Amino acid sequence: MSGSEVTFTQQGMWVTEQAAGGGTAYHMPLVVHLRGDLDTGALLAACAAVVDRHPALGGVVTEVGDELRLVPGAEVPVRRAAAFLADLPAGAPDFPDHGPGVREEILRAFDLEKGPLARFTLFETGPGRHLLLFVAHHLIFDGQSKDILVRDLAAFYNGEPPPPLPGIDHGRAERDRVAAVLPAAREFWKPRWRDPGETVVLGRVLRSRRAGEGRVLRFTLDPQVPSVPGLTRFEVLLAALHTRLLGYGNASVTTAVDLSTRPEQATGHIGLFVNELPVASTPSGRETFREFATALRAELREVYRFRQVPLSRALPRIRPHAALVPVSVSYRTRRVADPVFAGLDASVEWTVFNHGVRGALHLQCVDGPGGLEISLRHDPETVPDAAGVAEDLRLLLERATEDPDLPLHELLENEWVPSPR
């Protein structure tokens, strides 16, 4: 029952949940569509095999003595839904849905004390059509874990079980890594961090750092749009977001960014290997987009040096919040095709909406073979015009990547028509 040590991120998330509750903002759903002659028994057995392979899926965070530990919880359910689920098209653009059965499973609360913190549900949606829904709490799961889960699930279904994974105690190993750089991290963050003030978006003041009910707007950028030589697509997107926030009237801009803390020995392991850190800028408007993005890239590289250290460890007086600042970004790159399920036509929805949001505005991005997919999750009360934000960002990205040597103040002018391509 002693289990393993939790990571600092798990500890912070657990404390936040206990203090204020996260609603569904920490629910991480994933949908696999399967078309063809599905071997239902083999798929459900594959789900159970994935749970056996990844102990984190069956864990809960609990107090043992005077510390938090990850211990086994209730059995992870792997079940076939009794009711037929009509294969309905997505719902309203700002509130997509797969029907009431899927929605109910996504919204269903987790028992953080007893578990389970993950569940599989298989729905039949038509002749030769099925939908597999997986939902996990963020305490035990992250974005990269989605790729690992689907890959392993396909391998077990195909009768090609992956080799055993070596055991790890990531919590203990993380504490050693953090201790080694903690003094330097404290010095680094001391002059950089200020409690977030107001962030203005389309004339509205954003202050929220809580978790609550949200809405979503999805859009995809063409694979060739966000590209500037010498910069990654993520760096270009982040620079464009900071520039857009400058245009909304923010002289100083701070956004939070989810950074992977996954060590090499955790490759192939499901779990929570993420740390949210702030990235700040003070764009003058006179520098070119290339100059600004390059400077922001340099700041990012500095932040990366301390990606293992949660801000609350470097600056212990910070109170726990669901989000560090009102506007945040998560960005994941996928360069491989979806895993193959033998004899089936399979497709995966990687950014299924959980009907919640941390903070006021969060951009969940998946950069894959089909382009850059952005799920813009927002508090509908403070950011009612998500479509306006998305269009402003899209136009700015298009203009910045067409001519990255334009000054920021020219990029933010309204009178611009894209040149023919």
Quick: pLDDT tens for 41-97. Answer: 999 999 999 999 999 999 999 888 888 889 999 999 999 997 666 644 444 343 356
Q: At what angle do helices 289-304 and 233-247 cross, to 10 degrees?
A: 110
pLDDT at 414: 57
Where do we find the tokens 């950014």? 351
Neighbours of 366 (CB within 10 A): 20
Return left, alpha or beta for 247; rule: phi > 0 is left, psi -120 to 50 is alpha, else beta: alpha
Q: Average pLDDT of 302-328?
A: 92
C-alpha 300: how far from chain center: 18
The answer to whether 324 and 22 have CB atoms below 8 angstroms apart is no
- Report how far residue 87's alpha carbon sits from residue 104's, in angstroms, rounded to the nearest whole number: 15
Give the model confidence (pLDDT) of 159-184 as tens digits: 999 999 998 888 888 899 999 999 99
| Cα atoms found within 13 Å of the Cα of residue 398, Cβ hemisphere only | 15
Tokens read off for 364 = 């969940």
- Report how far residue 57's alpha carbon sits from residue 361's, in angstroms, rounded to the nearest whole number: 28
Q: What is the mean pLDDT of the chain?
A: 90
Give the model confidence (pLDDT) of 323-359 as tens digits: 999 999 999 999 888 899 999 999 999 999 999 999 9
The answer to whether 228 and 214 have CB atoms below 8 angstroms apart is no
Where do we find the tokens 């098209």? 89
Q: Residue type for 184, please?
A: A
Q: Average pLDDT of 210-234?
A: 85
- Report how far residue 297's alpha carbon sits from residue 274's, in angstroms, rounded to the nearest whole number: 20
C-alpha 26: how far from chain center: 10
By three-state DSSP, how is residue 385 classified? coil
**Portion of the chain with pLDDT greater than 70, in percent:** 93
Least confident piece of the model among 81-85, 128-132, 206-210, 417-421 = 417-421
Least confident piece of the model among 5-9, 35-39, 339-343 = 5-9
Residues facing residue 345 across a β-bridge? 35
- Report how far residue 275's alpha carbon sits from residue 236's, in angstroms, rounded to the nearest whole number: 21
Query: Residue 214 pLDDT > 50, yes or no?
Result: yes
- Report how far residue 210's alpha carbon sits from residue 326's, in angstroms, rounded to the nearest whole number: 9
Q: Quick check: pTM over 0.85?
A: yes
Tokens read off for 209 = 């750092």
- Euclidean distance between the first and the last CA atom of the chain, given in angstroms as a whole number: 62
Query: Residue 1 pLDDT > 70, yes or no?
Result: no
